[in-house]
Structure 1
Amino acid sequence: MLLDTHGRTATDLRVSLTDRCNLRCTYCMPEEGLSWLARPELLTDDEIVRLVRLAVTELGVTEVRFTGGEPLLRPGLAGIVARCAALTPRPRVSLTTNGIGLERTAAALASAGLDRVNVSLDTLDPDTFHRLTRRHRHGDVLRGLAAARAAGLAPVKVNSVLMPGVNDAEAPDLLAWAMEHGYELRFIEQMPLDAQHGWQRAGMVTADDILTSLRTRFTLTPEDTGRRGSAPAEHWLVDGGPHRVGVIASVTRPFCRACDRTRLTADGQVRNCLFAREETDLRGALRSGAGDAEIARLWRAAMWGKKAGSGLDDPSFVQPDRPMSAIGG
């Protein structure tokens, strides 16, 4: 098992398949993009599947989430999903995506064994979408969401980040729209993981801000009292249910005490925390001929050293060098 010194066990593996993205979200990267990893630096399909197999069969991982960058840009994605879904014991397999390209791939991914998707969408307004992402792809995301629902990738979760003065007034409209279409909406506080290192706590839309906005139109009843566990989102029933909304307060109400995640970057580095500044190189071990036992030992050691928390509230906090697009959500 992937244990740490604070009594936590990592059972949720986040696998970044690429650092590339076809959007340029203002809270993530500059308009010109970033210096992407060269192809030889990326894990191959076989290397990804080998590490996932090891995590699932030897290290106690029960859920595998493929992320990016934008994972739909990864050639051979359906094959990777199929090989991982065929493992015994079978992990639950999911995908976090911006939704562009999901219209043409959702059915194939479902057939390959994908269980569900999380799709990022921060606004219902195409012009605001362009302002946030610097791309005119709003309609593609909406069609991708519909395709995911039609393919049975349920529950279809929608992740939204609110930015002050841009889309922070849209929270009630986003929730009404999500309920109308049968999507499960989750708001995420903006985190200090932008490539520009321009994040400022004072300019962040907080979980309390979001809930205050939602309560102008809806009655929210806490759903997670006493049983939230390792789930990152706090959930509220909307107007008594059955619909619900989640808020991931990574900054103002961190959930580190119950964290169950381990992360693998597209270039084969283990990160024991989203905000970690140290990594453990599994790609080097793989390519030098290390056996499964040695790789498992390295992975266990990486997780054993996990800190108690992210350190966001510590005045000495330093943002990781890698941005979110190079870590994986």
Structure 2
Amino acid sequence: MLIDTFGRKFNYLRLSITDVCNFRCNYCLPDGYDCDQERNFLTLNEIETLVTAFAQLGIKKIRITGGEPGLRKDLTDIISLCSQTPGIEKVALTTNGFNLARNATAWKAAGLNAINVSADSLDPRMFSAITGNQNLTDILHGVDVAQEAGIESLKLNAVLLKQFNYSQLQDYLDWIKDRNLTIRFIELMKTGDNQSFFRQNHVSGQEIKSLLLQQGWQQKLKHKLDGPAQEFFHPNSTGRIGLIMPYGKDFCDTCNRLRMSAIGKLHLCLFAEAGNNIRPWLTASDVEGCKQIIIDTLFDKKVAHQLQQGFVGGTKHLAMLGG
């Protein structure tokens, strides 16, 4: 088991396989992806070494992220590799859903257990205003296809923005009343590129939580492999609500996840200064060496991020490391 100097146990890896994204979300990549960046992403063989090493160190859950992971043609192979690695109990995917309808069945067959789909509005015009994409209907159809394929856990992610979708909060609650899935509201985070936008659009997660509790929503207990979201249920709703509140008190106390960038850097926090390059061990297929560098790096993990103080580290935008 991976344990840091503060006694926190790590069983969850967020694995970015590309930082390329085909959406232009106003809170992340409003000008689109910069094609001049390095694109020498981890190969399938390097990912195999990485996943094997982490699994042998006690990682039980892997979430495949981007950028947009669906842009990689070998995504199905990556899912299969992760699901077949001894020790890995759950494989999840975060996607914008642009090709979900076409691939959900194959991803399920490869071993995918859970999908989180970005849906920053249920209104097509607002969705387009936020994401620069006009295919909301196709994306929601993909969610239906994923459910029909038997994906165990389906969640929609929405970054709540004061000047955009915050007024549509009740629309989400109404939409999930008869749907067996979870809507997760994510508190907007400040990054290197969005500081003015953050000041204009940040909504406190605690404010949303108070509203839910007033409406009779009740908080669920966490499973050991769950991420940072607080999840809520209501006796009159089939669907559930999740809240991710990185500015909340004690958010980092239960941290159980590490992050790998698409170019082979191990990040101890989304908002740390820089990752530790472990790619030489991955390229050499050196599982034991990889395990040792992971253990050594973990000693540097800090007790908490410093978002409340305005520190965003080396995170220029969320697509760099999968949010």
Matched, 1:309 2:304: yes
Aligned-partner Cα distance in 1 for 2:54–2:21: 26
Match of 1:155 in 2: 153
Gaps of 5+ in 2: none
Q: TM-score, normalised by structure 2?
A: 0.92
> Alignment identity in percent?
34
Aligned residues: 322
State the shift of 1:169 in Å.
1.0
Matched, 1:48 2:42: no
Gaps of 5+ in 1: none
State the shift of 1:235 in Å.
2.1
Query: What does the per-residue CA deviation read over 1:216-268, in whole Å, with 9 as the maximum and x for residues that have no partner?
Result: 8x4222334xx676641122222466543111111234521110101000001
Contact 1:2 1:300 in 2 (8 A): yes
Give the counterpart of 2:257 among 238, 261, 268: 261
Equivalent position SS for 2:127: helix
Contact 1:189 1:205 in 2 (8 A): yes
Give the counterpart of 2:59 among 58, 61, 81: 61
Contact 1:169 1:213 in 2 (8 A): no
Aligned-partner Cα distance in 2 for 1:69–1:254: 28
Alignment of 1:243-322 (within 5 A): 243-287=239-283, 289=284, 291-314=286-309, 317-322=311-316
Matched, 1:101 2:99: yes
Alignment of 1:225-244 (within 5 A): 231-239=227-235, 243-244=239-240
Q: TM-score, normalised by structure 1?
A: 0.90
Contact 2:176 2:237 in 1 (8 A): no
Match of 1:114 in 2: 112
Contact 2:23 2:133 in 1 (8 A): yes
Equivalent position SS for 2:22: coil
- Specify whether residues 179 and 194 from structure 1 end up closer, same or farther in structure 2 by C-alpha distance, changes over 3 A only: farther
Query: What does the per-residue CA deviation read over 1:31-69, in whole Å, with 9 as the maximum and x for residues that have no partner?
Result: 243246444x2111111121011111x211000100000
Aligned-partner Cα distance in 1 for 2:109–2:164: 38
- Specify whether residues 87 and 32 from structure 1 end up closer, same or farther in structure 2 by C-alpha distance, changes over 3 A only: closer
Match of 1:188 in 2: 186
Contact 1:15 1:266 in 2 (8 A): yes
Aligned-partner Cα distance in 1 for 2:70–2:200: 34
Aligned-partner Cα distance in 2 for 1:24–1:4: 36
Amino acid in structure 1 at the alignment position of 2:18:
T
State the shift of 1:147 in Å.
1.2
- Specify whether residues 129 and 265 from structure 1 end up closer, same or farther in structure 2 by C-alpha distance, changes over 3 A only: same
Aligned-partner Cα distance in 2 for 1:28–1:62: 29
Contact 2:177 2:237 in 1 (8 A): no
Contact 1:97 1:117 in 2 (8 A): yes
Amino acid in structure 1 at the alignment position of 2:109:
S
User: CA RMSD, aligned part only?
Assistant: 2.2
Match of 1:136 in 2: 134
- Specify whether residues 83 and 203 from structure 1 end up closer, same or farther in structure 2 by C-alpha distance, changes over 3 A only: closer
Amino acid in structure 2 at the alignment position of 1:258:
T
